[in-house]
Each structure stands twice: as C-alpha cells, then as structure tokens.
Structure 1
Amino acid sequence: MPMGIGGFIVGGLQQVIVVFGVHHVFNALEVQLLATTGVDPFNAIITGAIVAQGGAAVAVAMKTQDPKKRALYISSAVPAFLGITEPAIFGINLRFMKPFLYALVGGACAGGVASFLHLAGTGMGITVLPGTLLYLDHLLEYVLVNLIGFGVAFGLTFTLFKPEE
C-alpha cells in the first residue's frame, strides 16, 4: 500500500494479534521475505508496535504514586525494550485498556513511518534494542521509528491516562 498505509495498519494491529497468541504465524512470512528479498520489512514495522507497548507501560509507571506498584510496572515494561511485550500488555496496558489503545496508536504511527521509509531488517526474530543489530546500515531510521513508537504511546498515555488508585 502506498505512503506507509500498510505499515500503519500492521503496526496498529500487530499487538492485538499478540494478545491472541497467534503472532508466531508471521515467522513464516518473515522467512519468506528474507529468502526472496534478503530483507525483512515486517520486522521494522512491528518493532515500533513493540516499543510502543513499553512506552505506554512506562507512562503508567510514572503516573502511579504507589512505589510498590510503580516498581512492578517498571519491571513489566523493561522486557518490551528487549522485544517481549506480554508482561507490559497483560500486566499493565490491557488491564487499564486505555494505555493499550494508546500503544496501538503509537505502533501504527511507527509502522507507517517504517513502511514509508522502506525500512527493513537484515534478519528476523529480534526487535527494539537487540534488533538494532539488524539495522546497522539504516541506524538513524531505525532509531527514529522506535522513538516515534515510544514517544506517541508514552505521550498519549502520560497526558490522557488517569490511574485509578
């Protein structure tokens, strides 16, 4: 799809697919992309969605007054920056719902930019911080996509979410 629209859609919906546990089906797509083109644009799109879940979770932690809850929320957010979003999704974002939705918006924005820039990794399976290794030839664009995902999700959550404590 032109102008990053496909990336916007995939980036916005990818973490919903994670909630249902069927996101591993896309490994076959990534293998096929690597085998036929030598690069994996899907990885670039989903990394923004992954970091967005972490950004929303960090915003919830920062807005939480209870130190025990804040520590728990931070420990649930950290794995997202290593590519594992389930603790952030199920421990924080989906529980409060709005942070999850704000993270979907962040993922959509990041995915749209990744697609628009034709960003693609040289491998698959790792994202966010460790995924940097797949983008050494396009590092600035990769960092930009991650900052957009994090920034949009964090900004929306920090501005619009009110923790009920």
Structure 2
Amino acid sequence: MVIGGALTHPLMIQAFEASQAPGAAVEHFLGIPVTFINYSSSVIPIILASWVSCWLERKSNALLPSSMKNFFSPAICLAVVVPLTFLVIGPVATWLSHLLANGYQFIYAFAPWLAGAVLGAMWQVCVIFGLHWGLVPLMINNMTVLGHDSMLPIILPAVIAQVGAVLGIFLATRDARQRVLAGSAFSAGLFGITEPAIYGLTLPLRRPFIFGCVAGAIGGAITAFSNSYAYSFGLPNIFFPAQMIPPGGIDASVWGGLIGTGVAFVLACVLTFFAGLPRASAAPGAVTVARPRQTIFWRR
C-alpha cells in the first residue's frame, strides 16, 4: 500500500504534469535521470514493485537478527523499492503495457481474425497479471479519434467464455461448495465481473480456465473476422451487444459478434462439462449419498 501511495502521491502527479511542459528540465536521482509517469490508472508497476519488495523482504529477514526484523526490514524495502520503482520498474512496466497495445495493432492490421484469436485467448491471462490496463488507453483513444473500437467486441467472447466454463462446472460437479461458488460466479460473470469465476473456480481447476481461453480465442476470431466494433465504451457483459450496433442499424457485424460470443459460451460450457473436472467429483470434498444396505428375509 505504501508503494502504491508513493506512486500516486499528488506531488508525483504534479511532477508528471510539469515534466510534460515544453522545455521542462530533466530531474536526476543519484545521477540517474527520472522518467515521470502518471501511475494513477496503472496496475502493472505496483504489482512488479510489490513482487520485488517481497523478494527483498525475504532476503533481509534472513540476514537481520530477529530483534531487528520488524523495524529494519520494512524500512529497507521502502528505501530500496520506491526509488527503484520510479527509476526502473515503473518505466519498464509501462513499456510492457505499450508493447502489448502496439502488438495488437500490428496483428490486427495484418489479419483481424488472428488478432481476435490472440486477444480472445490472452485477455483473461492479461487480467490476472494486470497487463490489460495497457489496452484500456488504446480503447479510449480509438473511441475518441475513430468513433469506434475493435477490441471491446473481441473481449466480450473472452468474458462470456469464462461464464460458460463456470456453467459447465455447475452442471458437472457433485461438490456442494463448488455448486454454490459456480452459481454466484455465473451471475456476476453475466454482468462482466469474471474475477469470482477465475480466482474461485476456473483458475484453481486449470482445465476450465484453459477451455475458457480456447473458446474465447475461437469466439474472438469470429468476432474480429466479422469486423465488429463498439461505438461506446463500457464493461463487456450480456448487455454489451447494444453498444455494437452502428449508427445505420443492426448489420452483419453485429450478428457476427453475437455468433462469436455464443460459440465461445457454448464451447467453454461443453468442454468443461465433459472434460473440465476430475472424474471423482469433480473435486475434493464431493458430497455423495450412500445407498442404504438392503436386508432380505427369506421365508420358507
């Protein structure tokens, strides 16, 4: 929390705004030039900085006496990680986000269906690591400059595919706890919130998450091949197709997006239902009902 607060401190935001002015002087720290970046809407730098801080904390705890760990270990982590984030981690993480966005643009210009397959397959993986934030500014820029965006319709099958995988778990499992989790995650996923589905079910079970990504890739390829666009920014959910209707009315691009989304949902559900769970239950803790033992009395 302290690292995130340092990155988004109002003084650092002011320093970023001042660095954008023409002729602004370059600041240095220990002789190293500082690249000011607005981290207020970023996630990757904080995640990477937290990982480095955890690694450094383990090393410092191993070297420091037990009587000094509680005070000096956090102090060392903050003194090292915060400057390192501003100098190295933050710029590198931002570069990775931009690389992801530029890579999508290059692939989409070369083959839209391929870009749809890649983005549909990798979207939930990017969400796990926070890399999807690198694409959000590009979506907003497309809306502002072009009046439409091609990524949001592709993301819709990726989201709905995880919902389909959760439905497959709900139908296949005999574990009472999993059924409760799947039911609530399914409801949240319909409205675009896939975190309960991913972290609660599909990712721990692995195969449902993979099936969801595969189905998202196929649905994304169909959607991109249909040249589907979103004409307003919003969270991909069951109501999102209304945002894909062009000013001229419903056309083939809208139907293509709906078909791609439907294919992703059905495919993820079917694959998960038949092959997504262990045969025994589908998971440890399955609730089974034993058949009562029958006693037969013979009469002569």
Confirm or deny: 8 A CA contact 1:128 1:146 kept in the other structure.
no
CA distance in 2, matches of 1:72, 1:160: 19
Q: Which moved more, 1:153-162 or 1:6-15?
A: 153-162
Number of residues of Structure 1 aligned to a counterpart in Structure 2 = 165
Which has the greater radius of gyration?
2
Q: Does residue 120 of structure 2 align to residue 11 of structure 1?
A: yes
Cα offset, 1:45, TM superposition: 0.6
Q: Which residue pairs with 2:283 in the alignment?
A: 164
Which one-letter code corresponds to 1:164 in the other structure? A
Cα deviation, residue 80, structure 1: 1.4
Unaligned runs of 5+ in 1: none
Aligned twin of 1:76: 185
TM, length-normalised to structure 2: 0.52
Alpha-carbon deviation of 1:3? 5.5
User: Structure 1 residues 93, 27: closer, same or farther in 2, change over 3 A?
Assistant: same
Counterpart position of 2:206: 97
Q: Secondary structure at the match of 2:196?
A: helix
3-state secondary structure, aligned to 1:143: helix
| Other-structure match for 2:268 | 153
CA distance in 1, matches of 2:195, 2:268: 16
- After superposition, the CA RMSD in angstroms is 1.5
* Structure 2 residues not aligned, in runs of 5+: 1-109, 285-300
User: What residue number does 1:43 align with?
Assistant: 152
Larger relative contact order, structure 1 or 2 (CA cutoff 8 Å, min sep 6): 1
Is 1:24 the equivalent of 2:133? yes
Counterpart-to-counterpart distance in 2, 1:46 and 1:52: 10
Task: Output the CA distance in 2 between the equivalents of 1:54 and 1:7.
Answer: 19
Q: How many percent of aligned residue pairs carry the same amino acid?
A: 27
Between the aligned partners of 1:151 and 1:81, the Cα distance in structure 2 is: 14
TM, length-normalised to structure 1:
0.92
SS in 2 for 1:127: coil
User: SS at the partner of 1:46?
Assistant: helix
CA distance in 2, matches of 1:68, 1:20: 27
1:142 maps to: 257
Letter in 1 for 2:210: L
Structure showing the higher helix proportion among its residues = 1
Question: Shift in Å at residue 133 of structure 1?
Answer: 2.2
CA distance in 2, matches of 1:7, 1:60: 26
